A and B are shown apart, each in its own frame.
Chain A
Amino acid sequence: MPLFDKKHDAPGKLIIVEGIDGSGKSTQIALLEKWLESQGYSVFFTEWNSSELVRETTKEGKKKNLLTPTTFSLLHATDFADRLNYQIIPPLKAGMIVLADRYAYTAFARDVVRGVHPQWVRSLYNFAIKPDLSFYFRVPIQAACDRILTSRAQIKFYEAGMDLGLSPDIRESFKIFQSKILEQYEKMIHEYNLVPIDATLEIHEQQEVVRDKVKEVLKGYLKKRTIYAKRPKVFWRRFTVS
């Protein structure tokens, strides 16, 4: 049985973005949401590692460096299961377009680099549904590093893969860790039909390609606009900052 291949039969559409830190995927999904809403679609946004249930635990585990590759992976899967149940399936069943910033592929890339077995983490997420469209923002490692290292004051311990002991220098560790994640993503393009987007292009050029792909997926989809759609605050915060 192929792993992680469950199509959903809900009337909505699930569109997700993937890519390493600094690939610009969050900017792109924010622009996509803006456009879809302007077109009269009802959109729901959800983000990796954001459920309240495990937020405190993950925060504390990270702060005290208590996490092992397995507990790291399982905590993120728990977060995902909770969001799938509350934030992804209901809007899909209601016929909305769900936009997800990162999906299970993030786990397949990161957790495998941390050392868990690739088959194990794939079957772990076997309860998830396959997105209707998955974008992969492809960026050379140096470009991503430049973006992250100049835009942010501090790289976090786990973000840099410091738990793996790749290098005592956090910047160097970040670079090695993200390169390894990049390799995993490259392998997944074919495995999961990810749509690669050249993330070195100008922002608006990328967005044009993204919107064209989305249009194809939305052929035959009936837009439904709810009278009152509450937009998650987190989206607007991210959007105005970037």
Chain B
Amino acid sequence: MPNDPKYFGEGLPYLKPFKNKGKLITIEGTDGTGRSTQVDLLKEWLEVQGYAVVETGWTRSNLMHKSIEMAKSGNMMDRMTFTLLYATDFADRLESQILPALKSGHIVLADRYIFTAFVRDSVRRADPKWIRNLFGFALVPDLVLYLKIDMETLIPRVIESGGMNYWEAGMDLHMGQDLFDSFVNYQSALVNEYEKLAKEYSFEVIDACKGVEDIRDKIREKVKDILGKPKK
């Protein structure tokens, strides 16, 4: 059913009124929880059922990727600047990918959403009110799937799949003696923040310590709930 778009805050006051005919499904979780695998599986499954799907991912806007790459490689920015870069990227994707897709009745799968910015900023002790206002232009998703993981499961997965990198380990925060300690402390802090958000924003929590198929099936159940009757 088409409905009026709902925003977290002030929204985008300059847009002409429109109806949202699609669904916005977002997947959150720390690095190594298998988000992108699940997005692929879900996309495939939805398309087989006849739904048109558009995928969007964090920092993937055409407008901003150059500035973000430059910032990451230079390692020279403060938290505020970083957050604003990501917010700009998100705004660009919202207006150029997400909203047009929803208007035309697509299902949008977002690999990470504004909650990623919330947790990363909380860990860096930012003012939670400021960032919530900043992302007040964001559309409220129809479903937030949160892939929850514990450190015992996460660490071997990350090491097997190519190792820990500077940003995933939160090295800018100096949370540990070495890369490994820093990674563990940083990722645990992120999981803690996600826990708080899960309550505040009613995430659907999915146990990501399980196998790929188990997670996939759980996700399908949740998605079925918001889609209503399957199209045949």
- Taking residues whose C-beta sits less than 8 angstroms from the other chain, chain A's interface range is 20 to 34
Residue A226 at the B interface, CB < 8 A?
A: no
Report yes or no: B130 in contact with A120, Cβ–Cβ below 8 A.
no
Least distance between A92 CB and chain B CB atoms (Å): 15
Contact A53-B14, Cβ < 8 Å, known A74-B87, A78-B84: no
Report yes or no: A57 in contact with B63, Cβ–Cβ below 8 A.
yes
Report yes or no: A116 in contact with B80, Cβ–Cβ below 8 A.
no
The interface centre, meaning the residue of B70, B81, B91, B136 with most chain A CB atoms within 10 A of its CB, is: B81
Residue B124 at the A interface, CB < 8 A?
A: no
**A85 and B133 alpha carbons, distance in the complex (Å):** 21
Report yes or no: A57 in contact with B91, Cβ–Cβ below 8 A.
no
The contact string, 1 if C-beta is below 8 Å from chain B, for chain A 199-223, is 0000000000000000000000000
Count residues of chain B with CB under 8 A from any CB of chain A. 30
A:103-137 near B, CB below 8 Å: 114-117, 119-120, 123-124, 126-127
Residue B179 at the A interface, CB < 8 A?
A: no
Contact A53-B81, Cβ < 8 Å, known A74-B91, A115-B13: yes
Cross-chain contact of A70 among B71, B78, B95, B127 (Cβ < 8 A): B95
Report yes or no: B84 in contact with A81, Cβ–Cβ below 8 A.
yes
Instruction: Give the chain A neighbours of B84 by CB distance below 8 A.
Output: 74, 77-78, 81
Q: In the complex, identify which listed stretch (A17-25, A29-37, A61-69, A170-178) lies at the interface while the others stay far away.
A: A61-69
Residue A188 at the B interface, CB < 8 A?
A: no
Cross-chain contact of B14 among A66, A82, A116 (Cβ < 8 A): A116
Report yes or no: B14 in contact with A69, Cβ–Cβ below 8 A.
yes
Residue B66 at the A interface, CB < 8 A?
A: yes
Report yes or no: A61 in contact with B63, Cβ–Cβ below 8 A.
yes
**Minimum CB distance partner of A127 in chain B:** B80
Least distance between B71 CB and chain A CB atoms (Å): 6
Instruction: Give the chain A neighbours of B95 by CB distance below 8 A.
Output: 68, 70-71
Instruction: Give the chain B neighbours of A124 by CB distance below 8 A.
Output: 133-134
Instruction: Give the chain A neighbours of B13 by CB distance below 8 A.
Output: 115-117
The contact string, 1 if C-beta is below 8 Å from chain B, for chain A 43-77, is 00000000001101100110000111111001101
Contact A53-B63, Cβ < 8 Å, known A74-B88, A78-B81, A127-B80: no
Contact A82-B81, Cβ < 8 Å, known A74-B87, A75-B88, A120-B137: yes
Instruction: Give the chain B neighbours of A69 by CB distance below 8 A.
Output: 12, 14
Report yes or no: B77 in contact with A53, Cβ–Cβ below 8 A.
yes
Cross-chain contact of A85 among B14, B80, B130 (Cβ < 8 A): B80
Report yes or no: B91 in contact with A71, Cβ–Cβ below 8 A.
yes
